[in-house]
Structure 1
Amino acid sequence: MVPKGLLLLSPVVWQPFLPREQQDKKTSLTDFTISDVVRSGVEVPSSSIGVYAGDEECYSLYSTLFEPIMKEYHGLDKLPAHVSCLDARRLTSVIQSEAPVLSTRCRVVRNLAGYGFPAGMSREQRLEVESLLVTALEDLKGPISNWSSNQENDKYQVAAGIHRNWPEGRGIFYNDAKTFLVWVNEEDHLRIISMQKGADVKAVFDRLCRGINAINKALLRHAQTGFAFHKQYGYLSSCPTNLGTGMRASVHVSVPPAFNDVRNKCRQLGLDVRGQHGETSEAEGGMYDLSNHQRLGRTEVDLLQAVIDGINTLQSTSTRK
């Protein structure tokens, strides 16, 4: 069994916990080995997870490594069958006070079944996936622009090999209002994003659900493929933190200075806390990015409802301070 709190500093850490036959194998689609899986954590020891899947088969071939990480990160004792619910009408409440909320954002990650994931795919595979997605996204009637020519600066993804040939084979789709975006071939084949100013979580989630369904139908129609999926792990992603729903629902919220225990309170509510400019940024002027920590083991509606309830509890507590 892989030890709790695993940091993948070197092969010495993970090799004793994997059967010899797994250490010597590689996946049939991308030739991804266990050394490839842990490369990011080995090269960048500051990584808290340090593993990336190169294709769907990684999760079955190297399950001895992946499953303990999944359970620890998502807070699960066992991995149930995944159930999805993409229906905004199932939400039972909304954010009660809009005043402290600057903006709301929901995103999911998806990969295409039968294709290598960005860490394991070849240049030719990346261009093929890009072509398939461009065709599918044309049904949504919006422009697709090229990614910036500048190299992405996520050192963990760079170490994993995700940014090879950057920015070739990548792009961004967006609607005219720029409230719905799709990143193509970044950490995953698709990062589907719905966002807008204010606290109307239901509208943001409804737009996301409709976009996901439209893309899935277009892929089935144009490419005869859908999203990579596992009955227990849910929608398969490059990083195991995004398994299950693949969804991160977040709000940029202003927390009063008097409420100085925001991080501990959010952790108790099951929320991740970031600065408003991303995962490694610090909060500025009392502005925080708050989102669901868990992605696996619950439906999209359940996770979004947990964020709504957490924000309402946080606001109520801060008001009493």
Structure 2
Amino acid sequence: MAVAMIFGMWDKKTSLTGFTISDVVRSGLEVPSSSIGVYAGDEEFYRLYSHIFEPLLKEYHGLDEIPAHVSSLDPRRLTSVIQSEAPVLSTRCRVMRNLAGYGISREERLEVESLLATALEDLKDPISNWSSKQENDKYQVAAGIHRDWPEGRGIFYNDAKTFLVWVNEEDHLRIISMQKGADVKAVFDRLCRGIDAINKALLRHAQTGFAFHKQYGYLSSCPTNLGTGMRASVHVGVPPVFNDVGLRNKCRQLGLDVRGQHGETSEAEGGVYDLSNRQRLGRTEVDLLQTVIDGINTLHNTSTRK
């Protein structure tokens, strides 16, 4: 049935970027270890190919049905914080965003870069520093997202390096707030204010905003990021009472993903892990951040009782 559906789509392509079904599934075919194996070239993908990616999406996020998306970017709604005794080294919140009406062609990337450079100058705390960032993500390479690298890509950041905007890495925007320590509320507050300011600046300068779908939330290149598009993570020292397998099993029960310090495929070093919300879709940003807070506190309390 799946093969028949794919062959039935063979001659279709998105009007904005010209993404075909071959482009959509290339990363999964070339790199079978991919967790989901499909990429979107633009927002039209989510209409044209929904019958292919939606079953994968439900399985990944553990949903029987996908509800209407509801956002909550209000730090005051958090009900607790990470315990001060928990061995948290740093805290980071990021969201991905794409601009409505723009795809990932070379010309569109350059236009997006120019738009963002103008919009970011409007922020109350301008993030005018710029650096080129080289990446070698095999899944993105297979999907064709890295074409013309590094042209039109890079990072804007403030002087304190606590607020950053990645431009045209996987998505048009990765908006990031981070700092040392466990003050997750301060990190989230900075993120929320930054998202709002960037959205207003884009509307003012380009009459466009973030690509959004009433069910899927904020539209992303990788469907695993749909919904909030948010990944809230902490680098935390995990006590030796947890071995690697035990930690991963416990975190899955708590709704957390486990990574090494340097990304999805890296290993933990010195007992320090990157723990984050697994789910992005079907819940609000505050709910997901609260899951991380509660999960870290549970792990800490469990370890101190052993």
Tell me the TM-score normalised to structure 1 length. Answer: 0.88
Return closer, same or farther for 1:148/1:39 CA change in 2, 3 Å cut-off. farther
Do the aligned residues in 2 keep the contact of 1:147 with 1:170 (CA within 8 Å)?
Answer: no
**Hey, what's the Cα distance between the residues in 1 that align with 2:291 and 2:124?**
33
Q: Deviations over 1:69-122 (max 9, x none)?
A: 11111111001000000000000000013440000000000000011xxxx622
C-alpha deviation, 1:254, in angstroms: 0.6
Q: Is the 8 A contact 2:153 2:167 kept in 1?
A: yes
Q: Is the CA contact (8 Å cut-off) linking 1:95 and 1:309 kept in structure 2?
A: yes
CA offset at residue 147 of structure 1?
7.3
Deviation at 1:142, TM superposition (A): 6.1
Q: In structure 2, what is the Cα distance between the partners aligned to 1:260 and 1:29?
A: 48
Cα shift at 1:49: 1.3
Q: Distance in 1 between matches of 2:129 and 2:142?
A: 23
Task: Quote how far apart the aligned CAs of 1:128 are.
Answer: 0.8
Q: CA deviation at 1:319?
A: 0.7
The 1:161/1:295 distance shift into structure 2, 3 A limit, reads same
Separation of aligned partners in 2, 1:161 and 1:147: 24
Structure 2 CA distance for aligned equivalents of residues 131 and 311 of structure 1: 40
Counterparts in 2 of 1:121 and 1:259: CA distance versus 1, 3 Å: closer
Q: In the alignment, is the contact (CA less than 8 A) between 2:133 and 2:155 conserved in 1?
A: no
CA displacement, residues 159-183 of structure 1 (integer Å, 9 cap, x when unaligned)? 1111111111112111111100000
Q: Is the Cα contact below 8 Å between 2:126 and 2:158 reproduced in 1?
A: yes
Q: Separation in 1 of the partners of 2:30 and 2:127?
A: 34
Deviation at 1:259, TM superposition (A): 2.2
Superposed CA deviations along residues 111-164 of structure 1, whole A, max 9, x for unmatched, are 00011xxxx622111111111111111112667679766752101101111111
CA contact (8 A) 2:91 2:233 kept: yes
Change (3 A) 1:200 1:171: same
Distance in 2 (alpha carbons) for counterparts of 1:212 and 1:147: 19
- The alignment-based identity, stated in percent, is 91
- Range with bigger deviation, 135-144 or 34-43: 135-144
Counterpart-to-counterpart distance in 2, 1:259 and 1:277: 20
193-202 or 257-266: bigger deviation: 257-266
Give CA deviations for 1:250-287 in whole Å, capped at 9, x if unaligned.
Answer: 00011111222661100110100011111111111111
CA distance in 2, matches of 1:93, 1:48: 32
Contact 1:183/1:191, CA 8 A, preserved across alignment:
yes
Q: Taking structure 1 as reference, are residues 218 and 150 closer, same or farther at Cα in structure 2, changes over 3 Å only? A: closer
Which one of 91, 106, 117 corresponds to residue 134 of structure 1?
A: 117
2:304 is the alignment partner of 1:319: yes
- From the superposition, tell whether residues 149 and 202 of structure 1 become closer, same or farther in structure 2 (CA, over 3 Å): closer
Q: Which residue of structure 2 aligns with residue 54 of structure 1?
A: 41
Describe the shift of the 1:269–1:32 C-alpha distance in structure 2 as closer, same or farther (beyond 3 A). same
* Change beyond 3 A, Cα 1:150–1:238: closer
Distance 1:125 1:271 in 2: 35
Alignment gaps of 5+ in structure 2:
1-10
Asked whether the 8 Å contact 2:86–2:300 carries over to 1, the reply is no
Q: Is the CA contact 2:116–2:202 (under 8 Å) kept in the aligned structure 1?
A: yes
- Mapped contact 1:142–1:173 kept (Cα < 8 A): no
2:90 and 2:182 in contact (8 A); partners too: yes
Task: Supply the distance in 1 between the matched residues of 2:32 and 2:66 (Cα, whole angstroms).
Answer: 28
Segments of 5+ residues of structure 1 without an aligned counterpart are 1-23
Q: Distance in 2 between matches of 1:62 and 1:212?
A: 29
Please tell me whether the aligned partners of residues 145 and 171 of structure 1 are also in contact (alpha carbons under 8 angstroms): no
Deviations 1:16-55 (A, max 9, x none): xxxxxxxx21111111111110111111122121110001
1:85 corresponds to: 72
Give distance in 2, aligned partners of 1:49 and 1:146: 35
- Distance in 1 between the 2:178 and 2:126 partners? 17
